[in-house]
């Protein structure tokens, strides 16, 4: 699992719009955003925003979000596993 840089929380606090996390679901989504953005530092990919991740996992129940976070953390790349699981679920019809 990727460690969050020491200055990452400071950069979150310096945002123009502070986070207003009021539910367990919002906290989980923020964890996904943080982990994905940590992996994107120094790559060609832009950081994801909260709204993007919320849109992708809006249909997922809270219990399944915990499972998804655990599964992504066990992979080599958190974001590849995250997007891979979501894509495989969406493709099945």
Q: What residue segments make up the domains of the chain, in order of their start?
A: 8-14+22-91
d(CA 80, CA 36): 9
Q: pTM value?
A: 0.74
Encode pLDDT of 46-92 as tens digits: 889 889 999 999 888 999 999 999 999 998 999 999 999 888 865 55
Encode pLDDT of 1-48 as tens digits: 455 566 665 666 566 566 677 788 888 898 999 899 989 888 898 889
Contacts of 28 (CB under 8 A, 6+ apart): 62, 65, 66, 69
């Amino acid at each position: 699992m990727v460690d969050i840089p020491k200055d990452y929380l400071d950069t979150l606090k310096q945002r123009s719009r502070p986070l207003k996390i009021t539910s367990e679901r919002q906290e989980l989504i923020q964890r996904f955003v943080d982990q994905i953005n940590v992996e994107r530092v120094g790559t060609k990919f832009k950081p994801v925003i909260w709204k993007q991740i919320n849109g992708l996992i809006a249909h997922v129940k809270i219990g399944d979000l915990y499972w998804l976070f655990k599964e992504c953390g066990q992979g080599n790349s958190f974001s590849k596993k995250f997007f891979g699981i979501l894509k495989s679920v969406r493709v099945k019809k």
